[in-house]
Amino acid sequence: MNNETRQCQNCKQNFTIEPEDFNFYEKIKVPPPTFCPECRMVRKMYWRNEKTLYKRKDDRTGKIIFSQFSDIATVKVWERDDWFSDILDSISYGRDYNFNQPLFEQLYLLVHEVPLPSRSIILSVNSPYCMNDTNIRNCYLTFASSSSENCSYCVNLDTCKDCFDINFGWNLELCYDSFFNRNCYKAFFSSFCEDSHDITLCKDCFGVSFCFGCVNLRNKSYYIFNQPYSKDEYFKKIKELELGSYYNLEKIKNKVLGDLWLKYPCKYFHGRRNINSDGEYIWNSKNVKNSYGITGGENLRYCQHLSYSPGSKDSYDHFRFGMGSELIYESLMCGDNISALKFCYLCTVECSDLTYCMFCLSSKNLFACIGLRNKQYCILNKQYTKEEYEELVPKIIKHMNDMPYIDKKGKIYKYGEFFPAELSPFAYNETIAQEYFPLTKEEALEKGYQWKDREDRNYQADLKTEDLPDNIKDVNEDIINKVIECEHKGAPLKLWHRVCMCNKENHHNHNAGKCEIEFETSYAPDRPEIVYCEKCYQQEVY
């Protein structure tokens, strides 16, 4: 079988389906996709509110609760502890399949009748302001994290303790304001470091300790700005920097980020211990292609943020979670020992053989079900025998192709497509799609997405940032009762085609002459970093 070029029915751009893709689709018995990989990813992202919590009324008790669904979402919402209790019996909402109506119209009705959990969180202790987490304890405003405790203002943690302001971290303790570090202790303002401790403003450093403002070091101690010092000299110099002063710290950070970090080359691809893999942020993986944020993955393609142990394998278009998952296709936020899920959303904990399901746990052989637990052989939440189920499902799949759902923009949803955006309870700017693929309100509405205008909360700030004391020693404890102004922003991630920059003048001495290696990288061509291929980078740092 050869490559086939097809036109995406969403963006109208051409995309390629390769022979190994066709083999996978045949293996799991689904038709090839009609959306390109990027549009498939955005379509799933539109279903994930990662870190915005709202106050809204509990539809069971009438009490005000914290929820991932805003008060304008038309779904029914129960406080998560009640939802996980025996109070809810989602099988009671079951109904017959209607062969005179497209499946997605029937699912729309069902998703607006079956109560949904206020927050997506499993096994949490004393963490009422968190969501999209698994097994966390004593955490505050921490999202998309697993097996962590005493952490605040963090996203994407795995097995971390006593950390603040971390985005992507594995096995960290007492770390602050850092990005994508692994196995670190007391790492501050640092990125892409591993197996290190007592480091500040470091980047791409492995096996280092007591380093400040360093880049690309390996197995070093007592370095400042990539220069070696004795132990006594190191601590003397650090004391002279007076890092308790915000002004001093910001001045040094600007120097490091704007000068030192850009002076040294960075590798085109962030990842280690991989075999035959490409994309970005990939660790300990094999045969992972066109994917991002993967740890311990095997035989994956078009997957994103499957970074929890044990890893995921043999899957396509799986977004978020993973953790012991296999044979997953076009699904998001599914994980924890699951297999053979297609077109599913938030199905977890030992689920298998689910198709077009949402919020299901510990179940198998379900089709188009919502909120079921410990069930088998159900369709639209109605119980069937094994024989009835196996006879009816093929008829429904045929009906989906004979009577497809057509959205407001004219896109056709037959069997093989993920849930249409019109079924999502979220607005585009509430979801992670806005972080990676930002749109204006006008653009989002034109594309058929919902939009939620920012609420005017009328909070009066007690302090502006310029009114804060410069030195931490001058800050009184009453600051915890103050409202301080702040700003936030996000940025998209995209792969760009680049040529190794080691051939540029004064960048690198390459003994073999000009390097002609080309690669795919997340560093856009107009960014200032010096980007090296794997071979040139290894020669630089070792």
- The one-letter code for the residue type at 355 is T
- pLDDT-derived band at 255, boundaries 50, 70, 90: confident
pTM: 0.86
Cα→Cα distances 32→27, 40, 234, 316, 417, Å: 12, 12, 59, 12, 9
| pLDDT tens sequence across 269-320 | 888 899 999 998 999 999 999 999 999 999 999 999 998 878 899 999 999 9
Look at residue 231 and give its three-state secondary structure: helix
Q: So what's the pLDDT on residue 72?
A: 84
Cis geometry, peptide bond prior to residue 310 (ω within 30 degrees of 0): yes
Pairing of strands 164-173, 176-188: parallel
Cα-flanking dihedrals φ and ψ of residue 140, to 5°? Answer: -135, 125
Contact 209, 221 (CB under 8 A): yes
Kindly list the domain boundaries of the chain, sorted by start residue.
4-46, 54-120, 131-260, 270-331, 456-492, 494-541
Span 115-170, pLDDT tens digits: 999 999 888 899 999 999 999 999 999 999 999 999 999 999 999 999 999 999 99
d(CA 259, CA 325): 43
Q: What is each CA distance from 509 to 68, 205, 532, 534, in whole angstroms?
A: 53, 21, 12, 15
Taking each helix axis from N to C terminus, what angle separates 386-402 and 103-111, rounded to the nearest 10 degrees?
Answer: 120
For 89-114, write each residue's pLDDT tens digit. 999 999 999 999 999 999 999 999 99
pLDDT band at residue 516 using 50, 70 and 90 as cut-offs: low
- Amino acid 466: pLDDT: 80
Question: What integer pLDDT is reported at residue 496 of this predicted model?
Answer: 43
Q: Give the CB-side neighbour count of residue 118, counting CA atoms within 13 A.
A: 23
Note the pLDDT of residue 486: 66
